[in-house]
A and B are shown apart, each in its own frame.
Chain A
Amino acid sequence: MSIKQYNDAGTFSTTLSAQPTANRTITVPDGSGTLLMGESIGRRNYLINGNFDKWDYATSQTASAYGSDNRWLNEHNGSSKTHLQVACGDAERALFNAMYFSRNQVSSSSGSTNFITKDQKIENVNLLAGKTVTLSFWAKADTNRNIAIEFVQYFGTGGSPSAGISGIGSQLVALTTTWKKFSITVTIPSIVGKTLGTDGVQTTYTALFIWLDAGSGLNNRTANLGQQSGTFDIAQVKIEDGSVATTGWHPYDGEFGGEVQACERYYEVITTSFITSYAGNGGNLGGKVQFTSKKRIAPTLTLVTDAALHSNVNVGIDYQMSLDIAGFVEYRTMQASSGVMQFSSRFTASAEL
């Protein structure tokens, strides 16, 4: 591995074989994956699950919501779609190494505000503000089709935050029927002069929108993309500092576990199980349920299933006690005067942006 050193003017000066000792910027002009000195090895991609490794919600969705690939909001209005996980085969492996890619089967319906998007909100608007970043991804379509990309800044909730800014870097991307890697460099506006919401930086974000279908009322955000039905495949989406898209894939914090933990800050599936040999009628059984990762904010808790619910347990539930970013208290009430009291539950906790 070579390490190339550039001076402050960006001019190549030398190839290093040792750690640089002065204030230097090391870049990777040829996209070869050369190590970028001075930054964390893992944290190259501002997106989480850009490689579509985690699908904790489901492997497909038709709803307009977070509903399949972690961290990705697959939205629509008016038009409809099926978004699904597709396993990579040799055709993909010959080009890039990934387990899955994202496929959107779009059925467009005419309407000025109708749309289909795939977007991800990057928490903390400060992270990308004022930076030149490069978005890269692999993509193809069922026939030659355009999509559009757009960045959005949102300044949070609480108080009187500045209005969000949309249409940043909006441009069309021409897909073909074969996989092709696209690289788009965008300068994200500075937030000098902006007022952030008082609810905390965790309510602010920079968002990447990938537009697949957009009515005319959205032309200013979508570079006049227009409406279309079709199938769109996207893989290995990255947003990284600078004007060069690196070729390697680096999970969050350098390890796949880091990518998993990053996802779980926003969404987690929790299974609980409690049992006691005896509880009097009206007695309670339960306890504190700790999230694997602390959440961005107190999450929305959804009871998915009551598995192995013992007959002595009251089906009426109380599980929202002490719900915060770290966990919650779940308890149930005994229905019979004696016997085993047991229940298992499955929840999801969502703190998505």
Chain B
Amino acid sequence: MLNTIEITSVKIQQNGWLLNGNMSVPDASGNRERESIMAWIADGNTPEPEFADAELLVQAKASKLAEATATYNTSVTALVGNTDQYEQTSWSTQEAEARAYIASDKVLTPLLSGMVVARGLSETVLQFANLIIANADAYRNAYATILGTYQANQKAISKATTVAEVQAI
């Protein structure tokens, strides 16, 4: 009968409409706001689409970024294997001592020397230093590819101006 709801905007939303920016109105018969929207449409008005192009682009970028992040995380996990965080923390010290020892066998290598003794593999400090440097170089090369790819994807996602461009990444 009397219905005086003021309509400022109507946007399609899932199974209903978003009314005036913050009211989710279901497509349910007998809903007071739904009846107002029906009357508003009957008056010749048209609801906005559920997502504007800009919103679709934001959604596509968020989805693609999540995908790139997941790929990055998976690749890094595969690269470091089961190495725990304490060992990873020691990598920089191991590499520094190894490179210093290769440059001069007079330098003290407390971490490497201790590890050689503890490992008991009949290897010399020089052999162990060369192994560490080879592993460090291999890790650096592999991680450079993973990180570089991730950063390239981030930049491409950021620069994309259409959903198609995002999906092509």
The interface of chain A, by Cβ under 8 A from chain B, is: 64-65, 75-77, 117, 152, 154, 156-158, 164, 166, 199-200, 202-203, 207, 280-282, 296-304, 319-321, 323-324, 333, 337, 350-353
Contact of A299 among B4, B31, B35, B63 (CB under 8 A): B31
Q: Indicate if the CB atoms of B19 and A300 lie closer than 8 Å.
A: yes
Residue B103 interfacial (CB < 8 Å): no
Are A156 and B1 within 8 A (Cβ)? no
B66 and A300 within 8 A (CB): no
Supply 24 A–B pairs (Cβ within 8 Å), ascending by A. Answer: A64-B4, A117-B2, A154-B1, A164-B1, A199-B30, A203-B30, A280-B70, A281-B69, A282-B65, A298-B31, A299-B26, A299-B31, A300-B23, A300-B24, A300-B34, A301-B26, A302-B22, A304-B22, A320-B13, A320-B15, A323-B15, A333-B62, A350-B32, A350-B33
Once A164-B1, A298-B31 are accepted as A-B contacts, the answer to whether A282 and B63 lie under 8 Å apart by CB is: yes
List the A residue with the shortest CB-CB distance to B4.
Answer: A64
Do residues A65 and B26 form an inter-chain contact, with CB atoms below 8 A? no
**Could you tell me if B4 and A282 are in contact, using CB atoms closer than 8 angstroms?**
no
Q: Is the Cβ of A282 less than 8 Å from the Cβ of B62?
A: yes
| Residue B5 CB within 8 A of the other chain | yes
Q: Nearest chain A CB to B111's CB is how many angstroms away?
A: 30
Query: Does B16 sit at the interface, judged by CB under 8 A?
Result: yes
Given the complex of chains A and B, what is the CA–CA distance between A166 and B2 in angstroms?
11
Return the CB mask of B16-30 against A: 1 if under 8 Å, else 0. 100100111110111
A64-B4, A65-B5, A282-B63 as given contacts; A303 in contact with B28, CB under 8 Å: no
Residue of B nearest to A63 (CB): B6
Most chain B beta-carbon neighbours within 10 Å: one of A154, A298, A321, A350 = A298
Are B23 and A297 in touch, CB under 8 angstroms?
A: no
Q: Check B29 against A158 for contact (C-beta < 8 Å).
A: yes
B30/A202 in contact, CB under 8 A: yes
Looking at chain B's contact residues, is the secondary structure mostly helix, strand, loop, or mixed?
Answer: mixed
- Taking the closest CB of chain B, its distance from the CB of A289, in whole angstroms, is 13
Given contact pairs A297-B28, A297-B31, A320-B16, enumerate 7 new A-B contacts (beta carbons under 8 Å): A65-B4, A77-B2, A157-B29, A158-B29, A281-B66, A298-B28, A351-B31
Taken together as a complex, chains A and B put the C-alpha atoms of A52 and B47 apart, in Å, by 38
What distance in Å separates the Cβ of B55 from its nearest Cβ neighbour in chain A? 9
Q: When the two chains form the complex, which single residue of B1, B14, B32 contacts A300, counting CB atoms closer than 8 Å? A: B32
| Residue numbers in B under 8 Å from A166 (CB-CB) | 1
Q: In the assembled complex, which residues on chain A have CB atoms less than 8 Å from the CB atom of B5? A: 65
B9 to chain A, nearest CB (A): 14
B24 lies within 8 A of A302 (CB): yes
Tell me the bound Cα distance from A157 to B15 in angstroms: 19
Shortest distance from the beta carbon of A332 to any chain B beta carbon, whole Å? 13
CA distance A351 to B30 in the complex (A): 9
- Assembled-state Cα–Cα distance A280/B1 (Å): 50
CB distance from A101 to the nearest CB of B (A): 24
A319–B22 CA distance with the chains assembled, in angstroms? 11
A50→B94 CA distance, assembly (Å)? 81
- Contacting residues, chain B, for A156 (C-beta < 8 A): 30
* Interchain CB contact under 8 A, A75 and B4: yes
Q: Which of A117, A280, A301 contacts B24 (CB 8 A)?
A: A301
